[in-house]
Amino acid sequence: MRGVSFWFFFTATIYVSLGMIWGIEMSISEDHTLAPVHAHLNLIGWVTMALFGLYYHLVPASADTGLARFHFVVATSGLLLIVPGIVLAITERGELLAKVGSILTLISMLTFVYTVARNRDSSPR
């Protein structure tokens, strides 16, 4: 695994590790107030990023493009904003960061939809 597929998958492993640590901390403290943040970190950070990485690995024609690099930057930025943004929203300290992170995350997914559609003939058979 190389290039953007590696970076998507590598960062996914970091995000899931952080999500696991956070889950353990919530269990120990018996305070699950931020469980929605933990869930978003695991779902977007681990599942979605890993799936992006696997796709780019399986369809290398889609990985060696500027669009794939843009996708990684937008997806990562979205996650890095949405996670603290949800913390701020839950603790009633503002929702702007969560909103911006959500929009970037949506742009990331729409970029992926376009990438998959554009490369349908490049997929392995």
| 120 C-beta neighbours (distance < 10 Å), count | 8
pLDDT 10s digits, 67-92: 999 999 999 999 999 999 999 999 99
Q: Domain spans of the chain?
A: 3-122
Q: pLDDT tens, 18-75?
A: 999 999 999 999 999 999 999 999 999 999 999 999 999 999 999 999 999 999 999 9
Q: Mean pLDDT throughout 93-115?
A: 98
The CB density around residue 59, as the number of other CB atoms within 10 Å, is 18
- pLDDT score recorded for residue 125: 57
Please tell me which residue, 80 or 122, carries the higher pLDDT value: 80
